[in-house]
Amino acid sequence: MEAYCVKCKAKKEMANPTAITMKNGKPATTGTCVTCGTKMFKIGK
């Protein structure tokens, strides 16, 4: 899955994507950047 990395300032592949549910009940995905290891977050399935 691809998400925007704020440290690399580009769309990168997400390592270890994990589906979560936000406080408002909407789905999201969290993981880490394969290049720099920064946490990534993407709203939606």
What is the pTM assigned to this prediction? Answer: 0.82
The amino acid present at 9, given as its one-letter code, is K
The amino acid present at 33, given as its one-letter code, is C
In angstroms, the Cα distances linking 37 to 22, 26, 31, 41 are 22, 25, 9, 13
State the pLDDT at residue 25: 96
Sign of CA dihedral 2, 17, 43, 40: negative
pLDDT digits (tens, 9 = 90+) for 11-45: 999 999 999 999 999 999 999 999 999 999 999 87
For tokens 């920064």, name the residue: 38
pLDDT digits (tens, 9 = 90+) for 2-11: 999 999 999 9
The amino acid present at 17, given as its one-letter code, is P
State the pLDDT at residue 45: 76
